[in-house]
Structure 1
Amino acid sequence: MTITPDRTLVAALRAEITGDVIDRTDHRYEEARRVWNGLIDRHPLVIARCRDVTDVVAALAVARRHRPVVSIRGGGHQVAGSAVCDDGLVIDLSGMTEVTVDAAARTARVGAGARWSDVNAATQRHGLVVAGGEVSETGVAGLTLGGGIGALQRAYGLSCDALRAVEIVTADGVARTASATEHADLFWAVRGGGRGIGVVTTMEFALRPLGPQVASALVLYPYDQAAAVLDAWRDLVPRMPDTVSPEYAIWSVPPDPAIPAEMHGMPVIAVAGLYAGPADEGLAVLAPLARLGTPLMDATAITDYTASQSALDPLFPAGNRYFFKSHFLEELTDAAAEAVVACGEGRPTPQCIAVVRTLGGAVAAVGDDETAFAHRRARFNVSIDAGWSDPADDDAAIGWARRAWDRLTPSATGGVYVNFAGLDEDADRDAVFGAHTARLDAIARTYDPDGVLTAAATRH
């Protein structure tokens, strides 16, 4: 019987790793190839579910011999779906979810398959946090390697700023510890450099005190106040302390049981913020967010940090279809504000949302060249997030996001956040990594001269 190259690859993986090897004949294949974004419909040749770093080393050894396209899956939440490839090998770390907290040292070791819900559950037992994202189902590795914008960024920086070390297996199959004192070039690259440098298997984070209770603001304004509220919001933001990272969003009221049913689906302006400090003093700091117009609802309250971080999870369910684009802005000028408000026009589904997030503070306190994240000087990020469930809406939803992004382009820096960069073909490397592109490429060539990992990561 003839052995095909596909079967040779699968056989080699089964001989080398202890974890599950799932090919197209396996009854688990359909579930295993799915990622959070239902728009992604890729069919790898084989999925290697690694149990530990030894399995990752072995999987990369097989990849070097057989040279398939390789993708790396952590939490599987990245919008562009880069965790899974067509006709290649997925090195799947989703089972490596262990989180170990050293409360005395204020550090946490986190497996590359963990999600922020795993981290929050472990760290909040000790009243500690890592600055993560805004949806707790997001994968820790993907968010962090791309930078890590989130609700605590002005106070504590990006997720990648909390990294103290990573264990990384490079394409040569060597497991290394990268930190400020060991393999510092790799450590620089993993803090904002995205994928393609190596397979990060464990991350060590520094923790900050916060929680378990926090003050959190969510204020809904009528949609017809969009421009007036944004004007008031952008006037307020420079006067708010860095303990708050205020947000402005154009959305529709979600079907939340805590919100009156007659409001569900209503287009609104949402203003939000989380106070990075003692909960009992946070309500007064957040109060101005409810004075930007005439609110429909003010849900500002003291809540559990874990609850605040998981509140949006049901609104972005796995399997729905998503397409995100983004811009960085140095200033929210009148023209930019007008373009943001115009994002509300023609939203094809209630799940489509445009969000303005504030940077500065601890994000800007890190030097431009200290990490691979290339957008330290920007003061705002605008993400245009299309969400929908019916494939018949694909063109309308993606078209809305692209048009909104184009409208904002004249006011933007030209930089793009790698975690909100559209699909792979949209992610221009110079826009994502700016002046750091050449240095990242040189590091990749040093550790992966044959392109075992970087061929897929740089194909756009």
Structure 2
Amino acid sequence: MKEITMKNIRGKEIFLGEEPLQRFLAEVRGEVIFEHEDRYDDARRVWNGMIDKRPALIVRCAGPADVIASVNFAREHGLLFSVRGGGHNVAGNAVCDGGMVIDLSGMKSVHVDPDRRTVRAQAGATLADVDHETRPFGLAVPLGLVSATGISGLTLHGGMGWLLRKHGLTCDNLLSADIVTADGRLIKASNEEHRGLFWALRGGGGSFGAVVSLEYQAHPVGPEVWMAAPMYSMSKAESALRFFRGFMARAPEDLGALASLWSAPVEETIPESVRGAPVVVFLAVYSGPLEKGEEIIRPLREFDTPVVDLSGARRFVDVQKFLDADYPDGMYYYWKSLYLNDLDDETIKTLVAHATTRPSPLTSIDIWALGGFFSRVPADETPFARRNAPYMAAFESNWKNALESPVHVEWTRRVYKDMERFSRGSYLNFPGFGEEGEELLKGAYESNYERLKAVKAEYDPHNLFRGNLNIRPAG
């Protein structure tokens, strides 16, 4: 490799000669992949098939030393770069066009301390990696709903899952993080050291450095839990959501739940007559005493006569994989979200009306019940400001044909725009492509936004880490 063309942080092309490239390659233990290589296309692909970016080189880091070398190389030459954890970010921020990808996906080790109930995981680990290691100890970290999701991106923008009402967001359970900063230092951020940075990492995103490992508080869960999964005809959707509203107002915090306006999947577990039919689904997980679970979830199963009911007691690790088949690698995804001010009758009627216009049976409108532990965390304790929201609506467009992408993106944006009158702020793990720029960030972080900019100015004053939902430094 004699020289390559790359983009700098201002988006302009520059040439890197053989000497600086060879010096960099000598400092890195992991693979470095260039555009002309056969393995390049596999290395640049991410979960969302919509993302088709072509970086100039990909550094598959073997450990923190490779991350430090990569950050130093980028800084010294003014290179555009992105940081990849699990590669599951719907906006595709794990990769960049013409720059360098600092790929942490091979850094997947997980260590559990069952006595302290803590988990230390490298940034490339997925939910499945963490769940696999915590299960033998009857422990779980509050994570997301799809097991292939990477833990680092999930954590840095919050992290919603079945344990949200009982134990909070993933970021609420973060104890410390090891992070490589823009000046090439590896530091630990926690409540004891670099406290401002630690505050920013608990929901503030990837603008502050390359997180290489995360330490979490784990909690006793399972090994079995009760899961509700009844499906009702879409003709019952409005009354079902009114029922869901009343039920969740009285539900114990051990119950995490959402209601989904969807179409029954075409799977063997679904009767042939129901497959593809528009439905409203109650998905709920009770993580309290197993003997109480069936009784707790019964009202969700008896709201009406379900067209199919997949409820039952399951291992928690299997619950974490329950939705995996619906979100395969390489399908096309475009998701946006809003925190609802209420789930009143007008909001319900509008959500159901939009659900009837979904351009794909794979697309859903999901209404997450919040509250519990999530809502008791003060709004300024983490950057995640919308703690008083009772519900979050996610507009998840999912489809298989690339030629149909404009239709699905337009539908999602239209629904999002219409639903803004019932809401305030977005969940930044479901941001579309972040098209709204700083307005999206201000809506999510509210009064915490200026503090995030100040932390950014302290740790990355030249905005080296910009391949993300970027928070620019103050001043």
TM-score when normalising by structure 2: 0.94
CA distance in 1, matches of 2:354, 2:27: 51
Question: Per-residue CA shift, 1:87-125, capped at 9, x if unaligned?
Answer: 111110000000111111111101100000000010011
Amino acid aligned to 1:48: V
Aligned residue in 2 for 1:207: 218
Which residue, out of 248, 251, 271, partners 1:260?
271
Equivalent positions of 1:86-125 (< 5 A) are 86-125=97-136
SS at match of 1:310: coil
Query: Residue 99 and residue 93 in structure 1: after superposition, are their counterparts in 2 closer, same or farther (change >3 A)?
Result: same
- How do residues 34-53 of structure 1 correspond to structure 2 at under 5 angstroms? 34-53=45-64
1:407 has 2:407 as partner:
no
Deviations 1:6-52 (A, max 9, x none): 45564443122111111101211101111000001111111111111
Contact 1:342–1:404, Cα closer than 8 Å, also in 2: no
Give the direction of change, closer, same or farther, for the CA distance of 1:295–1:87 in structure 2 (3 Å limit).
same
The equivalent of 1:183 in structure 2 is 194
Q: Which residue of 2 aligns with 1:67?
A: 78
Residue in 2 that maps onto 1:229? 240
1:115 partner amino acid: T
- Matched with 1:388 is 399
Return closer, same or farther for 1:90/1:284 CA change in 2, 3 Å cut-off. Answer: same
Alignment partners' CA distance in 2, 1:45 and 1:3: 11
Asked if the contact 1:448–1:454 (Cα under 8 Å) also holds between the matched residues in 2, the reply is no
**What SS does the corresponding residue of 2:62 show, helix, strand or coil?**
coil
Native 8 Å contact 2:86 2:149 kept in 1? yes
Structure 1 pair 161–67 and aligned structure 2 pair: CA distance change class (3 A): same
Note if contact 1:444-1:454 (Cα within 8 Å) is conserved in structure 2.
Answer: no
Matches within 5 A, 1:42-441: 42-413=53-424, 415-427=425-437, 428-441=440-453
Whether the 8 Å CA contact 2:369–2:392 is kept in 1: the answer is yes
Q: What amino acid does structure 1 have at the position aligned with 2:444?
A: V
CA positional deviation for 1:2: 7.7
Does the C-alpha gap of structure 1 residues 10 and 387 become closer, same or farther in structure 2, counting only changes over 3 Å? farther
Aligned counterparts of 1:277 and 1:457: Cα–Cα separation in 2: 36
Q: Distance in 2 between matches of 1:457 and 1:7?
A: 31
Query: TM-score when scaled to structure 1?
Result: 0.97
Q: Please state how far the C-alpha of 1:456 moved relative to its aligned partner.
A: 5.7
SS in 1 for 2:256: coil
Q: May I ask how many residue pairs the two structures share in their alignment? A: 459
Identify which range, 145-154 or 250-259, moves more after superposition: 250-259
Say if 2:370 and 2:391, in contact at 8 Å, map to a contact too. Answer: yes
Report deviation, 1:182: 0.8
Rate the CA distance shift 1:208–1:456 in 2: closer, same or farther, 3 A: closer
Structure 1 residues 12 and 38, CA gap change in structure 2 (3 angstroms): farther
Partner Cα separation in structure 1 for residue 163 and residue 261 of structure 2: 21
| Amino acid corresponding to residue 434 of structure 2 in structure 1 | D
| Residue 358 to residue 7, structure 1, CA distance change in 2 (3 Å) | farther
* Residues 201-229 of structure 1: per-residue CA shift (max 9 Å, x gap): 01011110011111111010001111111
2:178 & 2:387 partners in 1: Cα distance?
Answer: 25
**Equivalent residue letter for 1:175:** L
Matched, 1:17 2:28: yes
Cα distance between partner residues in 1 of 2:68 and 2:152: 18
CA deviations over 1:326-374 (Å, ceiling 9, x no partner): 0001311222111211221221111101000011111111111111112
2:443 aligned partner, one-letter code: A
Q: How many angstroms apart in 2 are the aligned matches of 1:321 and 1:177?
A: 37
AA in 1 matched with 2:336: K
Partner of 1:458: 470
Alpha-carbon distance change, 242 to 455 in structure 1, aligned in 2, over 3 angstroms: closer
Give the aligned CA root-mean-square deviation in angstroms.
Answer: 1.6
CA contact 1:356–1:380 (8 Å) conserved in 2:
yes
Structure-1 separation of matches of 2:162 and 2:29: 39
What SS class does the counterpart of residue 203 from structure 1 fall into?
strand
Percent pairwise identity: 38
The residue type paired with residue 231 of structure 1 is R
Query: Which residue of the partner structure matches residue 8 of structure 2?
Result: none
Unaligned runs of 5+ in 1: none
Q: 1:10 to 1:256 in 2, by over 3 A?
A: farther
Looking at structure 2, the residues matched to 104 and 18 of structure 1 have their Cα atoms a distance apart, in angstroms, of 34
Work out the CA distance in 2 between the residues paired with 1:311 and 1:455. Answer: 31
381-390 vs 363-372, greater mean Cα deviation:
363-372
SS at match of 1:94: coil
**2: CA distance, partners of 1:456 / 1:207:** 28
Relative to structure 1, the CA distance from residue 66 to residue 271 in structure 2 (aligned partners, 3 Å threshold; closer, same or farther) is same
Letter in 1 for 2:107: M
Could you say if the C-alpha distance between residues 354 and 456 of structure 1 is closer, same or farther in structure 2, counting changes exceeding 3 Å? closer
Does the aligned pair in 2 maintain the 1:134–1:312 contact within 8 Å? yes
Conserved 8 A contact 1:210-1:278 = no
Q: CA deviation at 1:162?
A: 0.8
Aligned pair in 2 of structure 1 residues 79, 276: CA closer, same or farther (>3 Å)?
Answer: same
Deviation of 1:55 after TM superposition, in Å, equals: 0.9
Q: Find out whether 1:449 has 2:464 as its counterpart.
A: no
SS of the residue 1:108 aligns to: strand
